[in-house]
Amino acid sequence: MITLTLDGVRVQAQEGETILQAAKRAGIRIPTLCYLEGLSPRGACRLCLVEVRTWGGRLVPACATPVQEGMEVVANSERLRELRRAILEMLFAERNHICAFCVSNGHCELQDLAAELGMDHVRYPYRWLPFSVDLSHAKYGIDHNRCVLCGRCVRACAEVEGAATWGFSGRGIFTLVEADLGEPWGQSKTCTGCGKCVQACPTGALFEKGKATSEQVKRPAILLEITERRPRA
Amino acid sequence: MPRLRVATVWFSGCSGCHMSFLDLDERLLEFAERAELVFSPLVDPKEFPDDVDVVLIEGAVGNTEHLHTLLEIRKKAKVLVAFGDCAVTGNVPSLRNPIPREEVLQAVYGPEDPPGLEEGEVPKLLPQALPLHAVVPVDLFLPGCPPSADRIWAFLRPLLHGQTPALPASERKFG
Ligand code: SF4
Ligand code: SF4
Ligand code: SF4
Ligand code: FES
């Protein structure tokens, strides 16, 4: 067993566990977006940043950093609140999030995080770049205007479904998640149509066709359920 | 105690936020005890008065008239509130923002000299519909499309009693 402190509270953790897992057990809330139980951590969104006092105040993603004996971690502070809010604002400024006009309105992790973290407006200038919507798949659609590039779809498809349909193309804010080598999703030769990516997506970027906004409730927990049910080798 | 001088303004929005304000129903009586509506689409005066305590502005800044009016209002109002998502984020009017202004106007009015392209009988359309805080400092933000009457009241009531509103997370959501 490893002992560390989280916001001044002594917490026990297993070797190899992450700061996020230890915090969860101790009932300490750390906001996350790209992390999803059942998928490998990626450390992509930085919303779960915590400060490690014993590493000279270094900021590390809690979802991807293993615990260490004697580690002192700050999970909630004014500095972290400000940083997390700034990260959220950049996500909103970078794509076109119009909640009132979104399939995920009312069931969106990004929208909930904004409310939770007190983001009452976006201080950065909006980019308002045009992004496309691909409706070529028989059952699902993808709207790049709402994508936060968290990669949950990429990992769900590769790690749980084993199809590896999704990948990233382009760079920086022009990065896009793309099916296969960039052809329309509906023409993908690898996609099985299982919908795991849709269930894993935290925003309105991936959605089910033919469902009204009120019915567009995602089941991200299903990824963990499937991996737990699977017989281990 | 003198009543608070409150104004409401309607820019590029659907008036849903104003409809929600009217949904305050019997709470409007308490509002009227504490405040006087000195300027609003809901009352007669046509000139924005000089000393306004609180102004609620619905809608994005979509054209040059909104722009000039907003700059004037900022000089005359003590507390400026971005009232609803269009005022806070640009929201629905900002759907046009990734598309060039000329294309939007021509798609709506036809290719020949569409109104709003230049200053004329209708004000010139800005290249993009802007949230209020992109133009002037905004003191308080009230999100929602539209904010429900309950949310508006949770926000207004403290203001009427000289306090700063602090909405719980559930009442801060966009959309
Ligand atoms: S994805 Fe979420 S935050 Fe973005 S517009 Fe849709 S509901 Fe709003
Ligand atoms: S539907 Fe299944 S196979 Fe197709 S892209 Fe999504 S996760 Fe991969
Ligand atoms: S489509 Fe959804 S799950 Fe995939 S990267 Fe974008 S936001 Fe994340
Ligand atoms: S949740 Fe840890 S970096 Fe995204």
Residue ranges of domains in chain A, CATH in brackets: 2-76 (3.10.20.740), 96-215 (3.30.70.20)
Read off the pLDDT band of A87 (50, 70, 90): very high
Read off the pLDDT band of A233 (50, 70, 90): low
Q: Which ligand minimizes its atom distance to the CA of A165?
A: 2
d(CA A99, ligand 1 centre) in Å: 5
Burial of B44 (0-12, 13-18, 19+ CB in 10 A): exposed
Which among A99, A105, A116 has CB closest to B169? A116
Q: Whose CA is nearest to atom 6 of ligand 3?
A: A147
Is any ligand 4 atom within 6 A of the Cβ of residue A39?
no
Q: Which ligand minimizes its atom distance to the CA of A40?
A: 4
| Structure tokens given for A32 | 């996350």
pLDDT tens digits along B53-78: 999 999 999 999 999 999 999 999 99
Rounded mean pLDDT, B38-46: 96
| Structure tokens given for A41 | 């951590």
pLDDT reported for residue A25: 95
Looking at beta carbons, which pairs linking A37-42 to residues 24 or more positions away fall under 8 Å? A37/A221, A37/A223, A37/A224, A38/A160, A38/A223, A38/A224, A38/A225, A38/A226, A38/A227, A38/A228, A39/A152, A39/A155, A39/A156, A39/A159, A39/A160, A39/A200, A39/A223, A40/A155, A40/A159, A42/A150, A42/A151, A42/A155
- Is the reported ipTM for this assembly greater than 0.90? yes
Best CA proximity match to A71, nearest among A88, A51, A99, A90: A51
Amino acid present at A68: Q
pLDDT tens digits along A137-177: 999 999 999 999 999 999 999 999 999 999 999 999 999 99
Query: What percent of chain A is predicted at pLDDT more than 70?
Result: 100
Other residues' Cβ atoms within 10 Å of the Cβ of residue B166 = 11
**Measured CA distances, A47 to A91, A149, A193, A215, B153 (Å):** 11, 13, 30, 28, 32
Measure the CA–CA gap between A136 and A206, rounded to whole angstroms: 13
Rounded mean pLDDT, B21-48: 97
Give the angle subtended at the CA of A200 by the CAs of A196 and A204, to the nearest 5°.
110
Q: What share of chain B is helix, strand, coil (3-state, %, to 5)?
A: 35, 25, 40
Best CA proximity match to A63, nearest among A75, A71, A77, A72: A75
Q: Whose CA is nearest to atom 3 of ligand 2?
A: A191
d(CA A90, ligand 4 centre) in Å: 15
Instruction: List, edge to edge, every strand of the sheet that includes A133-134.
Output: A133-134, A140-143, A206-208
d(CA A49, ligand 1 centre) in Å: 22
Break chain B into its structural domains and give their ranges.
4-96+129-168
* Class of domain B4-96+129-168 (CATH, top level): alpha beta
Instruction: Decide if B59 contacts B26 (C-beta within 8 A).
Output: no
Which among B91, B133, B170 has CB closest to A98? B91
Residue A89: closest CA among chain B residues belongs to which residue? B89
* List of chain B residues whose C-beta atoms are within 8 Å of the C-beta of residue A126: 89-90, 94, 97, 131
pLDDT tens digits along B88-115: 999 999 999 999 999 999 999 999 999 9
Atom number of ligand 3 nearest to Cα A177 = 5
d(CA A113, ligand 2 centre) in Å: 26
Please judge whether B175 and A116 are an interchain contact, meaning their C-beta atoms are less than 8 angstroms apart.
no
Q: Taking the model in full, what pTM does it have?
A: 0.96
| Helix H or strand E encompassing B63 | strand B61-63
Q: Whose CA is nearest to atom 4 of ligand 2?
A: A191
- Ligand 1 environment, Cβ below 6 A: A 97-99, 102, 104-105, 108, 110-111, 146, 203-204; B 175
Measure the CA–CA gap between B160 and B35, rounded to whole angstroms: 7
Is any ligand 3 atom within 6 A of the Cβ of residue A220?
no
Q: What is the mean pLDDT of chain B?
A: 97
**Chain B contact present for A111, CB below 8 A:** yes
Measure the CA–CA gap between A106 and A109, rounded to whole angstroms: 9
Distance (Å) from the alpha carbon of A1 to chain B's nearest alpha carbon: 37
pLDDT of residue B25 exceeding 70, the answer is yes
* List of chain B residues whose C-beta atoms are within 8 Å of the C-beta of residue A125: 134
- Count chain A–chain B contacts defined by CB atoms under 8 A: 74
**Chain A contact present for B143, CB below 8 A:** yes
d(CA A39, ligand 4 centre) in Å: 12
- Ligand 2 environment, Cβ below 6 A: A 156-157, 161, 163, 165-166, 191-197
Residue A93: closest CA among chain B residues belongs to which residue? B89
